[in-house]
Amino acid sequence: MLGKLKMNGEVVVVTGGGAGIGKSTAMAVAELGAVAVICGRTEATLKEAAEDICGRGFKCKYFVADVSKEADVQALAKFVSGKWDAVKAIVNNAGNNYSAMLHELPTDKWNELLATNLNSVYFMCREFIPLLLKTKGPSIVNIASTFGVIGNPRMPVYCATKGAVVNLTRQLAIDYGSQGLRVNSVCPGSTLSPRYKGYMDKGLVNLDAVKERIMLRRPAECDEIGDVAAFLVSDAASFMTGATVVVDGGQTIH
């Protein structure tokens, strides 16, 4: 199995790769031998993440792109295809949240999160599937959420978009399975990402209440999600496709 985990210089593109789950995923695939290509909107964050990964003896490149924008994703694909002939995997991790009751939710916020959480997956898959199909054992991993399989108060657009990502994953697995392309989704529960810690600092998250809903009585660390995504990318998960992998410490089992 250890041999199947190794990636031997193959390219893995991670969106939202500058911090949190995205950075942890990039670190994990790079440790397994991939060239991690991380993208995001903030160059300083990407540069710092890439330097951290490379400083540990692994390989990482970065590209500034807002994957909610079609032209940016096309530019990213052009950058990647200009340097490498094929791509082993893409991990669609970029996402955002907004809290409001539906009747108070502004249209611009609905559209903004629709673009960030769902359109980005569409753009990335459309542009990169031709490059993925050029390699052996290609994979797409879409980072969704437990709120893509259950509801949560005051998160109508987040729940809607993450649920859409889960089912788009299944649909793509059907269309491209015969060509050897595996497509899976990961549904993290509460995870101590910089964004989540920001919610805690602002008093928007009651950590004690969160822990009560989790059987392991703690939120996840980012690398606990990134490691699962890296496994799904690798050939060790060669017979997994269309799966919805819930990584939530037992949040949704009761």
> What does pLDDT average to over the chain?
97
Phi-psi region of 57 (alpha: psi -120 to 50; beta: other; left: phi over 0): left
CATH of domain 2-247: 3.40.50.720
62, 98, 122, 158: which is the annotated catalytic residue? 158
pLDDT, tens digit, 9 for 90 and up, residues 126-181: 999 999 999 999 999 999 999 999 999 999 999 999 999 999 999 999 999 999 99
CA 194 to chain centre: 15
The secondary structure of 52-68, three-state, reads HHHHCCCEEEEEECCCC
Find the distance separating the first CA and the last CA of the chain, reported in whole Å. 33
pLDDT bucket at 199, cuts 50 / 70 / 90? confident
204: pLDDT strictly greater than 90:
no
Spatial neighbors of 219 by CB under 8 A, at least 6 apart, are: 189, 190, 191, 192, 196, 207, 210, 211, 249
| 122 belongs to the catalytic site | no
Give the helix/strand (H/E) hosting 230.
helix 222-233
Q: For strand 11-15 and strand 35-40, is the pairing parallel, antiparallel, or unpaired?
A: parallel
Which pLDDT does position 22 carry in this prediction? 98
Q: What pLDDT, in 10s, does the model give residues 46-97?
A: 999 999 999 999 999 999 999 999 999 999 999 999 999 999 999 999 999 9
| CA atoms of 210 and 217, how far apart (whole Å) | 8
DSSP symbols for 173-208: HHHHGGGT-EEEEEEE-SB--HHHHHHHHTT-S-HH
pLDDT, one tens digit per residue, over 234-248 is: 999 999 999 999 999
Instruction: Report phi then psi at 5, rounded to 5.
Output: -75, -25
Domain boundaries, the chain: 2-247
Over range 215-241, report the average pLDDT: 98
